[in-house]
Amino acid sequence: MTKPKDNDGLPTSNEEEAALLRRIAERHRPSFEELFASYHPRIFKFVFRLTRSYTAADELANDVLLVVWKSAKDFRGEAKVSTWVFGIAYRQSLRYMRKKKLNVVALLDQDAIATDTNSELERQDWVRHGIQKLPPKQQLTVMLVYYLGLSCEETAAATNSPVSTVKTRMFHARRKMKDFLATSAEPAALTEANDND
Q: How many CA atoms lie within 13 A of 195 on its CB side?
A: 6
CB burial of residue 159 (10 Å; 0-12, 13-18, 19+): buried
List the one residue out of 8, 27, 31 whose CA is nearest residue 19: 31
Alpha-carbon distance of 130 to 190, in angstroms, equals 19
- pLDDT in the model for residue 101: 60
CATH 3.30.450.20 fits 116-197, yes or no: no
Alpha-carbon distance of 140 to 175, in angstroms, equals 16
CB burial of residue 112 (10 Å; 0-12, 13-18, 19+): exposed
Residues 6+ apart with CB under 8 A from 93: 46, 47, 50, 51, 60, 140
**pTM for the predicted model, two decimal places:** 0.59
Q: In tens digits, what is the pLDDT along the chain, a chain of 197 residues?
A: 344 344 444 556 888 999 999 999 999 999 999 999 999 999 998 888 777 788 888 999 999 999 999 999 999 888 889 889 988 988 888 788 777 665 444 333 444 434 444 555 566 666 667 777 788 888 888 888 877 778 888 888 888 889 999 999 999 988 888 887 777 765 544 444 444 44
> What are the sequence ranges of the domains in the chain?
1-102, 116-197
Alpha-helical regions (H) of 52-162: 54-71, 81-100, 110-113, 118-132, 136-142, 152-159
- Assigned architecture for domain 1-102: Orthogonal Bundle (1.10)
Alpha-carbon distance of 80 to 162, in angstroms, equals 17
Distance of CA 37 to the CA centre of its chain: 17
